[in-house]
Amino acid sequence: MTEEDTFYVGVNDSANLRKELLGCSKEAIYILKNYDKINSIRKDKIEKIIELQKILGEIKKLNNILRERLPSEKVRAKSLKTKKRVVKKTTIKKIIPNVVPKKQDNEIQQLEGELSEIENRLSNIGV
């Protein structure tokens, strides 16, 4: 570059600009560190998966050997018969209707009592 090609730019409040640049640099370094950690975790994960696949392959081989050496006769377990429960629906239906109206009557009486109290208060306020 020659002297004719160079030019200078004035920066207002250069101290704050430097602080912001340093802050951005810190954040970039932090992000790179996290990225490196993630990559190392991914590598460990891949290694563990490969190790697991090897172990599963060995288990399959051993399972096949075991099946070959075991007798081929099939043994059936005796099935247990389960008894079905019989629930009488009529007794349940008779009990439920008797209980519900009593609750409704009690609730209605309570609401009527509360309503009469509120009406009395309103009439006292109006007097």
In terms of domains, do 65 and 104 share one?
no
* pTM, full prediction: 0.43
In terms of domains, do 61 and 93 share one?
no
In terms of domains, do 26 and 57 share one?
yes
pLDDT of 16 strictly over 60: yes
Place of tokens 């007794």: 91
What was the pLDDT predicted at 83? 66
Query: In the structure encoding, which two tokens stand for residue 20, read together?
Result: 């912001």
Supply the mean pLDDT for the chain.
82
Range with lowest mean pLDDT among 22-26, 44-48, 88-92, 103-107:
88-92
Residue 46, domain extent: 13-70
What was the pLDDT predicted at 92? 53
Q: 59 or 96: whose pLDDT is higher?
A: 59
In terms of domains, do 17 and 49 share one?
yes
With cut-offs at 50, 70 and 90, classify the pLDDT of residue 14.
Answer: confident
Distance separating alpha carbons of residues 117 and 102, to the nearest angstrom: 23
Percent of the chain with pLDDT over 90: 41
Q: Is the dihedral of CA 15, 16, 17, 18 positive or negative?
A: positive
Number of structural domains found in the chain: 2
In terms of domains, do 18 and 55 share one?
yes
Q: 104 or 50: whose pLDDT is higher?
A: 50
pLDDT of 96 strictly over 60: no
